[in-house]
Amino acid sequence: MRTLTYSQAISEATVQCMTDDPRIIVLGEGVDDHKGIFGTTTQAYASFGAQRVIDVPNSENACAGVAIGAATNGLRPMVVHTRADFLFLAMDAMVNLAAKWRYMYGDHGGVPVVTRGVVGRGWGQGATHSQSPHATFAHYPGMVVAAPASPADAKGLLVQALRSGDPTVLIENRGLYPREGEVGLEPLPVPFGVGRIVRPGNDITVVAVSLMVYEAESAARHLAEQGISVEVVDVRCLRPLDDAIICESVARTGRLVVADTSWARYGFAAEVAAVVAENLPGALREPVRRVTPPDCPAPVSWPLEEAWNPGADAIVRACLELLGLGRNGIGPPESAQPALGFDGPY
Amino acid sequence: MRTLTYSQAISEATVQCMTDDPRIIVLGEGVDDHKGIFGTTTQAYASFGAQRVIDVPNSENACAGVAIGAATNGLRPMVVHTRADFLFLAMDAMVNLAAKWRYMYGDHGGVPVVTRGVVGRGWGQGATHSQSPHATFAHYPGMVVAAPASPADAKGLLVQALRSGDPTVLIENRGLYPREGEVGLEPLPVPFGVGRIVRPGNDITVVAVSLMVYEAESAARHLAEQGISVEVVDVRCLRPLDDAIICESVARTGRLVVADTSWARYGFAAEVAAVVAENLPGALREPVRRVTPPDCPAPVSWPLEEAWNPGADAIVRACLELLGLGRNGIGPPESAQPALGFDGPY
Amino acid sequence: MSDLPAEIDPDVDLVRAMVRIRRIEETLADHYRDEQQMRTPTHFSIGQEATPVGMCAAAEPDDVVYAGHRSHAPYLAKGGDLPAMVAELHGKEAGCARGRGGSVHLIDPAANFAGSAAILGEMISVATGAALAFHVTGRTTVALTFFGDGATEEGVFAESLNLAALHRLPVVFVCENNGYSVASPLRQRQPGGTSITARAAAHGVHALEVDGNDVFAIRDVGRAAVARARAGGGPVFVESHTYRWREHVGPGWGYDHGQRTRAEVDSWIARCPIRRAVETLRGVEPRIDDWVRGWEAEYTAEIQQAIRRAKAAPWPGFSELTRGTYGAAPDPRTEEAHAHADVLAGDQ
Amino acid sequence: MSDLPAEIDPDVDLVRAMVRIRRIEETLADHYRDEQQMRTPTHFSIGQEATPVGMCAAAEPDDVVYAGHRSHAPYLAKGGDLPAMVAELHGKEAGCARGRGGSVHLIDPAANFAGSAAILGEMISVATGAALAFHVTGRTTVALTFFGDGATEEGVFAESLNLAALHRLPVVFVCENNGYSVASPLRQRQPGGTSITARAAAHGVHALEVDGNDVFAIRDVGRAAVARARAGGGPVFVESHTYRWREHVGPGWGYDHGQRTRAEVDSWIARCPIRRAVETLRGVEPRIDDWVRGWEAEYTAEIQQAIRRAKAAPWPGFSELTRGTYGAAPDPRTEEAHAHADVLAGDQ
Ligand SMILES: Cc1ncc(C[n+]2csc(CCOP(=O)(O)OP(=O)(O)O)c2C)c(N)n1
Ligand SMILES: Cc1ncc(C[n+]2csc(CCOP(=O)(O)OP(=O)(O)O)c2C)c(N)n1
Ligand SMILES: [Mg+2]
Ligand SMILES: [Mg+2]
């Protein structure tokens, strides 16, 4: 099968769905510019022009409401934000209106708005450009929240979102855009609420989402060399959440590590732990471990930022601890100097 | 000791702190009007006038920013919202700026803004006037989030908030305002992050916050009649969270029910379950139960609203199930007709 | 009413529409207070009927209307179904939002009353989005949205004006300026010497003011506004100066609890939009007073019946508590979905 | 520079301040590109120096200044500490935000540079709040806040103008209108025939426009604005029309990647604010060119040294990763706190 990058997969899904469905429009600050939201909207703009790929003023709140108005009058808007952190400004329209619309107006129809938010890890983005607010949205019934890790899922979940009748938030970590993977040519949807076993294993379950799936895989490879068998579960979607795939895995392994790019408290890692505590209280042989950023805002300073971002190393350490094997990680962190060759985007 | 209602306790704390500290100002839509935010700001307005108790335009976002600007220039603003649901409009300033300020600007100083949000249970408030967004704010480091249940804590935590150097969100359920309790005359702070055992017990731990503490107490009383001993823990604060008091209790009882006025997924109930799964995997003899609203927005229709709001009955049922005692609740719900005599506030 | 002509004069019909809304709301307010069967916070437009009636008369049936929390009058003026609204206020399954939404979340797709919402300002942007949809798809439909003076203080108002003007969207922004936000007078919330109309104009939106108690003037301004928007002339803002007689929420009077002076309220009751319209028409149509009396009786009966039926109607079923949270989606845990997921997982 | 008079002429000093910022930013841009040691997205004001320099010259040292993401020039113009800024860009503990904030989160309390923020519009409301604090406490301090044309599209701009005008707060809103938001030109974001100044005026804010490349005009407008705000005349809005030579973020040029035409950028380089000011002064002060050359050398050396020192400075310690998330609070789990909690619990 063909190989695409994550951003190419999103771009392809967008163009294919827009071709199939003339109701789809794209709204966002700079969707039409030379950067094209990390290359994800460039092709759509080239193909469909300013009529359907619409640069908007810096008005996140109104744009979220505009998308709702358009969606409830026959269009299927996709709103794109270069940083998911800007979603707080759109949160009223998204949580108080889009998520509740179908229910609150008596099930006459839903709000098919897709909102893509980019998580800004990388190059010292700092406290207000590094957040992954997926749990914040996933707390609210009526929303769908997905955070694909693989290029195939980036395509498939976007296709699903653009065909669904419910408001959907897609959180994309920038670190994923250059990653390659096999992606089918057809615009096939990946259903919401179905996780996948990325790597089977017996000793420990690592539940992850988005970028952390790769960190989990790399941790699993490392641990495999030490004879430790890690099962990596990518839930793909936070709401609906595939409780069953989590529970089936933990029932087998008896050990759970949850890895997330957002904070532990009241976050994705909390929910996964709760699902297990709710369904399999006896199954856990060891404490659940949450591998997440420390409980502080994201710092800019390079070594602090590296330390702040949870990675394979922290997952390895958590797994070894659960197995009573001490605290050996993957190895010392790389040299404390940023590498040369960076050319943006920032 | 004297008895005050919850709203009187808030009013008294406000007036006492404003008397002691001339830097405190109150900002909010209608803080000066005849309703005085359920009577909590009436006395402050009468005592300090429009110079310090300031009615503001309907501009939640700017007001949150204004409070930050005032707080970082020597004042101590308290912002009051008649519905916590309006906080989504203020969320950018609160989460992206107030919560991160101290850290992001290098620990030069913090943002002592107190934000009170009223949770609107009652009289068919509906989907956008019934939410308890405490977990949403508590996910973000830098915030303090408290949700007092008792009049004494309403006073003590507000006093603490008005003296603290960090941005603090206080969530108040309207159902609490008329409740009475003993309240000390002095403005003594209740420290953040310290829960309290409301009622000791051995068989089951019910962890609750805000209004659910009363529901838990009433469930405990009911179960006591059946010889079941329930320990009720009021965490009082969601961030910092008193992990120790939760774990000490669950270590003794081996059974955990968490009761919350907001949804289960990614909410308070998830975090409490996670804390236990993280610290005491072996201690749980039975699955954790989350007693929360069902996974849908709040309906208006009276019987549906009654069913949507979690209550003592649901806590009783959860406890009995954990004890393998079937599904006997407190009894049939009251007659499906709203009672007469209601005279607002709506 | 036997002498009412078969083809009702459009001016007369404006009076009829106002009388109908007035009788409905007054009757609802009485029942609301006395019976407490409508368990939903309710914002009456009594005294403000001219704006929704005049503006909706200017719109075509296909045009869509949005409103804020003060929703009954726009809903009814646009032709929203009365029994469904009354059932909604009673929280019954027969309600226009199946009892889920309550007074502030009225909707009637058949009448193109596209929704009202409780959070200030939301429907200003939503109506702008509806207009964007009409614009993009080449429909000649217009979106109208009703909101108060208080809602214009929300940032989304300025954001929406800018967007609408930028793309010349077919939307008419109707501000019912009743001088208050809850109990806060305008001067306490907006600087002296400014006007909402001037702000709208500064955003590039064609902006007009109108006497909000003169239904004929409103209808005429509305016609010009809707025509301009429909013709591609871009958005129009209409500020209608009016007054609310009752308390902000609930059935009481505006002077209850000392919120406002009785003299102030009375001075506006003297400017009642219905009375004014009747006085205007009396010269050309002397039977108008009889008709009004007839309508009052007719619509009182209509609303009484709607209330009776709503009270007798069934509540929503408990088993349907969560229905409508999400659209019908194929169960993600079906065989098919799993098979598909496995295929994708295998691909990687 | 030996012939520079001891008491520097205020007009000449404006040139000096612009040259300093220019040399600092150009040097930073070169190092940023070539060495990649400043791992923080960086928005240069090259070509826009006149606005921060002129406005800050009009302010008193006690007045507080806020800025958005394009932060270096306002920070430096207000007297922010250069080594601390450069260390901040390098993520070092010696940074003005201890390496936590980066380029967009500069702060220097000693200079009353009260903070810059990355989220558009935030500091507009925050400066309004600072002015509220001055107002409430009777201080005669003024708050100034710098932001771009793009930030005025955020609802918080309108909300803040309204609040500031309502309470006649001592705040000066300074809009550096450079015609772009990232790569989006103004005409793609705001309706033709409108102006930001007119919108500010419609909110009741005294509003002025100025040639953003004429530092003397800006200083004069700034003086009037600050004086008015300080005297209780209420908020002032200043729209300064200017242009950014470089790319939105990063060290490249505005015409890189075809974002804008080289001709457009060149036409503005020809209107360089430094060159214009020098030309104005040359008649009265013929030594100005020598001075500029001297300053260029001096400030190049200053920034080179700051960069060298920043590179050599230590990183923050890992053990301090979470420090500053909260203020020092008594440990809630101390004996004392527990005792207190028990007392309270017992009371109930
Ligand atoms: C975002 C938001 N803030 C505050 C409120 C509370 N609130 C409900 S109605 C209202 C008054 C609004 O005044 P206006 O817009 O003039 O409408 P009116 O009630 O006068 O018709 C307020 C403040 C709300 N519903 N939403
Ligand atoms: C709320 C928000 N939306 C979007 C952005 C992304 N963004 C950063 S700078 C910028 C351009 C702002 O343009 P302008 O205000 O004119 O300032 P300039 O960069 O031209 O100085 C944008 C869109 C942001 N930082 N915050
Ligand atoms: Mg009003
Ligand atoms: Mg700009």
The residue whose CB lies within 8 Å of the most ligand 2 atoms, and thus the one to mutate among A31, A38, A58, is A58
- d(CA D190, CA D199) in angstroms, rounded, equals 11
Contact between residue C170 and residue C230 where contact means Cβ atoms under 8 Å apart: yes
- pLDDT by residue (tens digit) across A196-212? 999 999 999 999 999 99
Q: The tokens of A60 are what?
A: 């996140």
- Please tell me the predicted confidence (pLDDT) of residue B282: 87
Two tokens, residue D24: 């600092």
Give the number of the atom of ligand 1 that is nearest the alpha carbon of residue C70.
21
- Catalytically annotated residue among B81, B129, B134, B222: B129
CA–CA min distance B297, chain C (Å): 7
- pLDDT tens-digit map of C16-74: 999 999 999 999 999 999 999 999 999 999 999 999 999 999 999 999 999 999 999 99
Query: Are A87 and A133 within 8 A, CB to CB?
Result: yes
Contact C129 A74 (CB under 8 A): no
Question: Which of D42, D69, D186 has the most ligand 2 atoms within 8 A of CB, as the residue to mutate?
Answer: D69
Query: C157 vs D162: CB contact, 8 Å cut-off?
Result: no
Q: What pLDDT is stored for residue C29 in this prediction?
A: 98
Residue D145's pLDDT is: 99
d(CA B61, CA B20): 29
Neighbors of chain A with 3 or more C-beta pairs under 8 Å = B, C, D
Distance between CA atoms of residues A279 and D188, nearest Å? 53
* pLDDT at residue C258, rounded to an integer: 87
How much is the pLDDT for C328? 79
How far is residue C26's CA from residue B152's CA, in Å, rounded to a whole number?
A: 43
CA distance A213 to A259: 8
The tens digit of pLDDT for each residue in B218-232 reads 999 999 999 999 999
pLDDT, averaged across chain D:
93
Residues of chain C with Cβ-Cβ distance to A248 below 8 Å are none
Q: Residue C42, class by beta-carbon neighbours within 10 Å (0-12 exposed, 13-18 middle, 19+ buried)?
A: buried
Rounded alpha-carbon distances, angstroms, from residue C311 to B342, C35, C95, C108: 18, 11, 11, 20
**pLDDT tens column, A33-44:** 999 999 999 999
Could you tell me which of B137, B172, B140 has the C-alpha nearest to residue B153? B172
Q: How far is the CA of A87 from the centre of ligand 2 (A)?
A: 14
DSSP assignment of C187-242 equals GGTS-TT--HHHHHHHTT-EEEEEETT-HHHHHHHHHHHHHHHHTT---EEEEEE-
Mean pLDDT in residue range A231-258: 98
Beta bridge mates, A146: A170, A237
pLDDT at D94 over 50: yes
Distance, CA of A34 to CA of A29 (rounded, Å): 12
Cα–Cα distances (Å) from C260 to C243, C273, D73, in that order, read 12, 20, 51
According to the model, what pLDDT value does residue A110 have?
Answer: 96
**Residue corresponding to tokens 């914002």:** C43
- Say what the pLDDT of residue A327 is: 62
Q: Express each pLDDT in C324-343 by its tens digit.
A: 999 976 444 444 444 444 43
**Distance spanning both ends of chain D, measured CA to CA:** 76
pLDDT on residue D339: 44
Is the minimum CB–CB distance between B267 and chain D shorter than 8 Å?
no
Task: Please identify every residue whose CB atom is under 5 Å from ligand 4, which is an ion.
Answer: D 148-150, 178, 180
Q: What is the mean pLDDT of residues B141-165?
A: 98
pLDDT at C280 > cutoff 50: yes
Between positions 6 and 65 of B, the ones with CB within 8 A of D are: 25, 51-52, 56-57, 59, 61-65
Q: What is the pLDDT of residues C164-201, one digit of tens each?
A: 999 999 999 999 999 999 999 999 999 999 999 999 99
Give Rg (Cα) of chain B. 20
> How much of chain B exceeds pLDDT 90, in percent?
91
| C87-137 residue pLDDT tens | 999 999 999 999 999 999 999 999 999 999 999 999 999 999 999 999 999
Mean pLDDT calculated for residue range D315-340? 72
State percent of chain B over pLDDT 70: 94
Q: Distance between alpha carbon C330 and the CA centroid of its chain, in Å?
A: 36
What DSSP element (H or E) covers B36? Answer: helix B36-39
**What are the tens digits of pLDDT across the range A311-339?**
999 999 999 999 999 766 665 444 445 55
CA–CA min distance B258, chain C (Å): 21
Q: What is the pLDDT of residues A267-280, one digit of tens each?
A: 999 999 999 999 99
Is B129 known to be catalytic? yes
Answer for the pair C99, C324: CB distance below 8 angstroms, yes or no: no
**What Å distances lie between residue C56 and C72, C86, C171, C245, CA to CA?**
13, 20, 13, 21
User: Is residue D334 predicted with pLDDT exceeding 70?
Assistant: no
Whether D263 shows a pLDDT value over 50: the answer reads: yes
Helix (H, G, I), strand (E, B) or coil at C300: helix
Q: How many CB atoms lie within 10 A of CB B331?
A: 9
Provide the sign of the torsion angle of the four alpha carbons D279, D285, D290, D292, taken in this order: negative
In this structure, which ligand is nearest to the CA of C181? 1
CA of D158 to the centre of ligand 3 (A): 18
Q: Which of C107, C93, C114, C105 is nearest to C42 (CA)?
A: C105
Contact indicator for C65, C54 with CB cutoff of 8 Å: no
Answer yes or no: is pLDDT of D172 > 70.
Answer: yes
Whether B299 sits inside 8 A of C100 (CB atoms) is yes
Amino acid at the residue D19? V
How does residue C345 score in pLDDT terms, banded at 50, 70 and 90? very low
Q: Who among C156, C194, C201 is closest to D155 (CB)?
A: C156
CA distance A261 to chain D (A): 16
For C214-256, how does the pLDDT look when each residue is reduced to its tens digit (9 = 90+)?
999 999 999 999 999 999 999 999 999 999 999 999 999 999 9
pLDDT interval class at A287 (50, 70, 90): very high
Give the nearest partner residue to B346 out of C184, C190, C249, using CB atoms. C249
Q: What percent of chain C has pLDDT over 90?
A: 91
Locus of tokens 């603003």: B77
What digits encode the pLDDT tens for the residues D48-90? 999 999 999 999 999 999 999 999 999 999 999 999 999 999 9
- Count of residues making up chain A: 346
ipTM, interface predicted TM-score of the complex:
0.96
Confidence at residue D6, expressed as pLDDT on a 0 to 100 scale: 64
- State yes or no: pLDDT of C6 exceeds 90: no
What's chain C's average pLDDT?
93
Global confidence as pTM: 0.96
Q: How confident is the model at residue A139 (pLDDT cuts 50, 70, 90)?
A: very high
- Predicted confidence at residue A1, as pLDDT, reads 81
Q: How far apart are CA D218 and CA D224, in angstroms?
A: 10
CB distance from B140 to chain A under 8 Å? Answer: yes
Relative to the CA of D248, which ligand 2 atom is closest? Answer: 19
B331, pLDDT greater than 60: no
Evaluate if residue B102 carries a pLDDT over 90: yes
C186 touches chain D (CB under 8 A): no
The 3-state secondary structure of chain A reads CCEEEHHHHHHHHHHHHHHHCCCEEEEECCCCCCCHHHHCCHHHHHHHHHHHEEECCCCHHHHHHHHHHHHCCCCEEEEEECCHHHHHHHHHHHHHHHHHHHHHCCCCCCCCCEEEEEECCCCCCCCCCCCCCHHHHHCCCCCEEECCCCHHHHHHHHHHHHHCCCCEEEEEEHHHCCCEEECCCCCCCCCCCCCEEEECCCCEEEEECCCHHHHHHHHHHHHHHCCCCEEEEECCEEECCCHHHHHHHHHHHCCEEEECCCCCCCCHHHHHHHHHHHHCCCCCCCCCEEECCCCCCCCCCHHHHHHHCCCHHHHHHHHHHHCCCCCCCCCCCCCCCCCCCCCCCC
Q: How far is the CA of C12 from the centre of ligand 2 (A)?
A: 53
Q: Which among D122, A28, D109 has a CA at the least distance from the CA of B96? A: D122
